[in-house]
Amino acid sequence: MKIYQTGEIRNIALIGNAGSGKTTFAEDMLFEGGKITRRGAIDSKNTVSDYRLVEHEQGGSVFSSVLNTELNGVKINILDAPGAIDFIGGAVSSMSITDTAILFLNSQNGIEVGTEIHWRQADRLKKPVMIIANHLDHDKTNFDKTIDEAKEKLGKGVVLVQYPVNPGTEFNAIIDLIMMKMYKWDEKSEKVEELEIPDSEKEKAEELRNTLIEAAAENDEKLMEVFFEKETLTQDEMRKGILAGILNRGLFPVMCSSAKKNFGTKRIMEFIKNALPSPDKAATPVTVENQEIKCDSTGKKSLFVFKMSVEEHLGEVVFFKVMSGKISEGEDLINSKNSSKERVSQIFVSNGKTRENVTEINAGDIGATVKLKSTKGENTLSEKGAEYVFPKIKYPNPKYRAAIKALSESDEEKLGEYLHKMRDEDPTYILEYSTELRQLIIHSQGEHHLNTLKWHLDNIFKLQAEFIAPKIAYRETITKCSQADYRHRKQSGGSGQFGEVHMIIEPFEDGKVKPSAFKIDGKEYVVNVRDTQEFELKWGGKLVFCNCIVGGVIEASYMPAIVKGLMEKMEFGPLTGSYARDIRVSVYDGKMHSVDSNEISFKLAGAKAFSDAFKKAGPKILEPIYNLEIMVPGDRMGDVMSDLQGRRAIIQGMSSEKGFEVVKAKIPLAEITKYATALSSITGGRATFETEFSEYAPVPGDLQDKLIKAHAEEEDEE
Ligand SMILES: Nc1nc2c(ncn2[C@@H]2O[C@H](COP(=O)(O)OP(=O)(O)OP(=O)(O)O)[C@@H](O)[C@H]2O)c(=O)[nH]1
Ligand SMILES: [Mg+2]
Q: Which pLDDT score is estimated for 463? A: 97
CATH 3.30.230.10 in the chain is located at 479-572+583-613
Give me the sign of the Cα torsion angle 638, 396, 692, 413: positive
pLDDT digits (tens, 9 = 90+) for 299-350: 999 999 999 998 878 889 999 999 999 999 999 999 999 999 999 999 999 9
Q: What 3-state DSSP class applies to 162?
A: strand
- Domain 302-382 CATH (choose: 1.10.10.10, 3.90.600.10, 3.50.50.60, 2.40.30.10): 2.40.30.10
| Residue ID of nearest Cα to ligand 1 atom 12 | 19
Ligand 1 atom closest to residue 259's alpha carbon, by position in its atom list: 31
Cite the residue boundaries of each domain of the chain with CATH code 3.30.70.240: 621-703
Residue 6 · residue 296 · CB < 8 Å:
yes
| Lowest-pLDDT choice from 300-314, 336-350, 578-592, 703-717 | 703-717
Distance CA 571, CA 405 (A): 25
Q: How would residue 718 be classed by pLDDT, with cut points 50, 70 and 90?
A: low
Burial group, residue 84, by CB count within 10 angstroms (0-12, 13-18, 19+): buried
Q: Which atom of ligand 1 is nearest to the CA of 83?
A: 25
Q: What is the pLDDT of residue 202?
A: 97
Query: Topology of 479-572+583-613 in CATH?
Result: Ribosomal Protein S5; domain 2 (3.30.230)
Instruction: Spell out which residues line ligand 1, taking CB within 6 angstroms.
Output: 18-24, 41-43, 60-61, 82-84, 104, 134-135, 137-138, 258-260
Ranges of H-type helices in 125-198: 143-154
Q: Residue 329, class by beta-carbon neighbours within 10 Å (0-12 exposed, 13-18 middle, 19+ buried)?
A: middle
Q: Which residues pair with 74 in a beta bridge?
A: 71
Mean pLDDT of the chain: 94
Q: What is the pLDDT of residue 594?
A: 86
Ligand with smallest separation from the Cα of 91: 1
Distance 79 CA to ligand 2 centre (A): 10
Query: Any residues with CB less than 8 A from the CB of 680 and at least 6 apart, and which?
Result: 446, 687
The mean per-residue pLDDT over the stretch 550-557 comes to: 93
Long-range contacts of 673-677 (CB under 8 A, 24+ apart): 673/400, 673/401, 673/402, 673/469, 673/470, 674/400, 674/447, 675/399, 675/400, 675/628, 675/647, 676/399, 676/400, 676/445, 676/446, 676/447, 677/400, 677/446, 677/447
pLDDT tens digits for range 127-180:
999 999 999 999 999 999 999 999 998 888 999 999 999 999 999 999 999 999
Length of the chain as a residue count = 718
658, pLDDT greater than 70: no
pLDDT of residue 507: 97
Cα(15)–Cα(96) distance, integer angstroms: 12
| Range in 19-23, 200-204, 669-673 the model is least confident about | 669-673
Q: In 546-574, which positions are buried (b, 16+ CB within 10 angstroms) versus exposed (e)?
A: bbbbeeeebeeebbebbbbbbbebbeebb
The pLDDT, as a whole number, for residue 352 is 92
Please list the residue range(s) of the chain that carry CATH number 3.30.70.870: 400-471
The pTM of this model reads: 0.87
Residue 604 to residues 308, 506, 567, 611, 646: CA-CA distances in angstroms? 53, 20, 11, 11, 45
Amino acid at 197: I
Cα(53) to ligand 1 centroid in Å equals: 18
Residue nearest to atom 7 of ligand 1 (CA): 21
pLDDT value, residue 649: 96
CATH 2.40.30.10 domain span(s) along the chain: 302-382
The residues that bridge with 337 in the sheet, in sequence order, are none
Q: Where in the chain is the domain with CATH 3.40.50.300?
A: 6-205+250-275
Instruction: Order the strands of the 65-71 sheet from edge to edge.
Output: 65-71, 74-80, 9-16, 100-106, 129-134, 252-256, 158-160
Q: Of 242, 269, 207, 245, give the one whose Cα is nearest residue 76.
A: 269
Q: Ligand 1: which of 24, 103, 261, 265 to mutate, judged by most atoms within 8 Å of the beta carbon?
A: 24
**How far, in Å, CA of 713 to CA of 718, rounded?**
9
Overall average pLDDT of the 435-448 stretch: 92
Per-residue pLDDT, 1:
83
Q: What is the average per-residue pLDDT within 455-465?
A: 96
- Choose between 133 and 577: higher pLDDT: 133
Q: Outline where DSSP puts E strands in 548-592.
A: 579-580, 583-591
Whose Cα sits closest to atom 4 in ligand 1? 260
CATH 3.40.50.1950 assigned to domain 6-205+250-275? The reply is no
Residue 48 CA to ligand 2 center (angstroms) comes to 11
| Ligand 1 centroid from CA 43, angstroms | 9
| C-alpha 65 to ligand 1 mean position (Å) | 16
Helices 143-154 & 113-124, crossing angle to 10 degrees?
A: 40
> Exposure of 226 by Cβ count < 10 A (0-12 exposed, 13-18 middle, 19+ buried)?
middle
Q: Encode pLDDT of 169-206 as tens digits.
A: 999 999 999 999 999 999 899 899 999 999 999 999 99
CATH 3.30.70.870 for domain 400-471, yes or no, is yes
One DSSP character per residue, 230-281 reads: HSS--HHHHHHHHHHHHHTTS-EEEEE-BTTTTBSHHHHHHHHHHHSPPTTT
Find residue 476's DSSP bridge partners.
580, 621
Q: Whose Cα sits closest to atom 23 in ligand 1?
A: 61
Q: Determine the distance separating the centroid of ligand 1 and the alpha carbon of 545, expressed in angstroms.
A: 65
Please give the pLDDT value at position 701. 93
C-alpha of residue 689 to centroid of ligand 2, in Å: 24
> CA-CA distance, 162 to 718, in Å (whole number)?
71
Q: For a ligand 1 pocket test, name from 15, 42, 257 the mutation site with the most ligand atoms within 8 angstroms of its C-beta.
A: 42
CATH assignment, 621-703? 3.30.70.240
